[in-house]
Chains A and B, each alone.
Chain A
Amino acid sequence: MSAPTSYWGLMFRFIFRRLVVMPFLLFGIVTISFAISRFIPSDPLISIVGERQLNNPVVVAAAKQRWGLDKSMFGQYSSYMGNLVKGDLGISFRTKTPVVGDLIDRLPATFELAFTAMFFGTVGGVLLGVLAASRRNKFADHVSRLFALVGSSLPVFWLGLVVLYVFYARLGLMPGPGRLPPRVDSPEHITGFYLFDAMLTGNFSLVWPILQRLLLPAFALGWGLMGIISRLVRSSMLDELQADYVRTARAKGLTERIVFLKHALRNALLPVLTVSGFSIASLLTGAVLTETIFSWNGVGSYAVAATRSLDYPAINGVCILGGMIFLISNLVTDVLYAYADPKIRLQ
């Protein structure tokens, strides 16, 4: 078979090469997660059995057998891997339900939050960056740069607390923590994204309350990204404005606005794509830290609860999930970038 030269052929090879590496990385991830979770010095039996039952040898032995704690380390590892291949991540010590199920239940909440934050951060960042570039070294530029800088330097969980305090507790402008108003049921589950589910099921009265409750956490989470992107856009725009093709555009008689927003911006936005895509990791991090503040029952708060109660199947599961999300989002970002940059696209 001769080497593919068509666009899709090349793209496929690119994706394929990346996919080939992934199993190795996944293997590494799952093994390390296993190793970590088995290093827990304190006895997981406490959370399984409850302190009072610890003295009862029958109960303890039964629990040990049930949870596989009576096997050797190697034995545990092999049954772990075996289960993993079947898609079984074990049963959470805390919730007593399968970890996989727990994670699937909670993933949409975190994604809804993370994507809204990414949207905020990217769109806001681009707007701010364009503003700063167009008013270079004037007041608006300095203000937006300060805003961006502070945003990416604040601890995100602190920021969450602050905005909640200011806008909810003090000013009463925004609702309190939680995805839904109190005593209101979630919309019928189609995607798990409450916003979409509400719209898809025609439950339009819920749309605004849900959106409202998304705003504060998404803002807290997204401000950091906004800061990074606005600085990137600003510097990228200023670079592009020095380029020769900008001079050509002016020589064609185009207005400054078109030169700025059509010619320069188009090229300046390319790096934004990669930065935005690679921000998934920090958004996940932020989610872990902010979900508890906003009573958001996503993967983040699950991870926190798991860590606090030494629930190692859950800890393990979250680590593997996090690693996978990271790998996949990086791959998707690379693909999108290769598509967006005409120079790469047609190599």
Chain B
Amino acid sequence: MSANKLEIDTEKRQSRLSRVSNVAKRPQVAFGLVIGIFWLIVLCAVSIWAPYDPLEAVDSRLLAPSMSHLLGTDALGRDVLTRVLFGARESMPIAAAVIICATVIGTLLGAVAGYVGGWVDAVVMRITDVVMAFPAILLAMAISAALGPGLRNGFIAILIVWWPIYARLVRGQVLSIKQREHVEAAISIGATRRRILQKHVMPMAITPVLVNATMDFGQVVLFLASLSFLGLGALPPSPEWGSMITEGAKNFYQWWIAVGPGLAILTVVLGFNFLGDGLRDVLDPRSKGEK
């Protein structure tokens, strides 16, 4: 009996509800929840509560932060804080759409490829290999350049870049679950392939997909901002965070223009990262958490 095994394991099986509340109490997860709720409120209510109009010049240009303009004004005299808040409306719905579509497409392809195997698997894998052989930003840049700037084309570009990740993830999960005994048992009693996939394999494969999707939400927002920063994706005068940072770069000494959107992106990336962690601990407490 090794010394390490002498420590007694006191974790008991907890009900799901108590697990959720335990996980939610952790500071990082709590932070993630606060962020998530905050941006959700902003998304819904900003047009009601915003101090100013995000697209209209409301004051002199390039004013430093003050009581009336907490983040100052930009090069066209618009209130920066308002634009930051409205920026959520630009990036978050698109990011959500990308994640949902990428997950759906990726899961379908990955599940079929993993379960059926054979040439279907080979074809899907080769396609993902080729797409993933590009550094994502270059591919997305090329696609958006080809299609033209604008959020809709940005959406398409990011979707094309993102779906292979989920296809690979789900395929891997399906492959390992396929080997497990309860699947063998189902096969031995004559269940159809489709039924096995649906009822036995997918419920277990879904967890990492959900966790990943949550964490990826922030990453997609960041990616979209990066594209906008480069002049693709969102177009002026839309208050997308990336293009606001470009403006901030042009007015380098007026630091307040770029600070807001950067911090906004940071909170979204961090917050959803933590939420994903928390989700993982709720759904699958056996996987290794932070020490």
Contact = CB atoms under 8 A, between A and B. Distances in A.
Interface of A: 24-25, 28-29, 32-33, 36-42, 136, 149-150, 153-155, 157-159, 161-162, 164-165, 169, 235, 238, 242, 244, 247, 281-282, 284-285, 288-289, 293, 303-304, 306-308, 310, 312, 315-316, 318-319, 322-323, 325-327
A28 B232 contact: no
B52 interface: no
Nearest to A31: B130
Contacts of A169: 252-253
Given A28-B130, A303-B138, A161 B270 contact: no
Contacts of B135: 281-282, 284-285, 288, 322-323, 325-326
Interface of B: 2-4, 126, 129-131, 133-139, 141-148, 218, 222, 225-226, 229-232, 242, 245, 248-249, 252-253, 255, 258-259, 261-262, 265-266, 269-270, 273, 291
A153 B138 contact: no
Nearest to A170: B255
Nearest to B4: A242
B91 to A, nearest CB: 12
A25 B141 contact: no
Contacts of A25: 129-130, 133
B148 A42 contact: yes
Nearest to B221: A155
A173 to B, nearest CB: 16
Nearest to B222: A155
Contact of A39 (B126, B146, B258): B146
Contacts of B269: 153-154
Q: Which of A150, A154, A282, A327 has the most CB of B within 10 A?
A: A154
Given A40-B145, A281-B135, A288-B230, 6 more contacts: A154-B265, A157-B245, A284-B137, A307-B144, A323-B134, A326-B133
Main secondary structure of the interface of B (DSSP, over half): helix
B141 A157 contact: no
6 contacts: A25-B130, A150-B270, A307-B144, A315-B141, A316-B142, A322-B134
Contacts of B252: 161, 164-165, 169
Given A29-B130, A39-B147, A155-B262, A319 B139 contact: yes
Nearest to B138: A322
Contacts of B245: 155, 157-158, 161
Contact of B249 (A238, A288, A293, A327): A293
A234 to B, nearest CB: 8
Contacts of A24: 126
Given A281-B136, A307-B231, A319-B138, A28 B126 contact: yes
A36 B266 CA distance: 32
Contact of B226 (A155, A242, A316): A155
A138 to B, nearest CB: 13
A161 B248 contact: yes
Contact of A161 (B131, B144, B249): B249
A161 B134 contact: no
Given A157-B245, A307-B231, A41 B133 contact: no
B288 to A, nearest CB: 8
Contacts of B230: 288-289, 304, 307-308
A15 B259 CA distance: 47
A342 B130 CA distance: 31
Q: Which of A153, A154, A158 has the most CB of B within 10 A?
A: A158
A106 B152 CA distance: 32
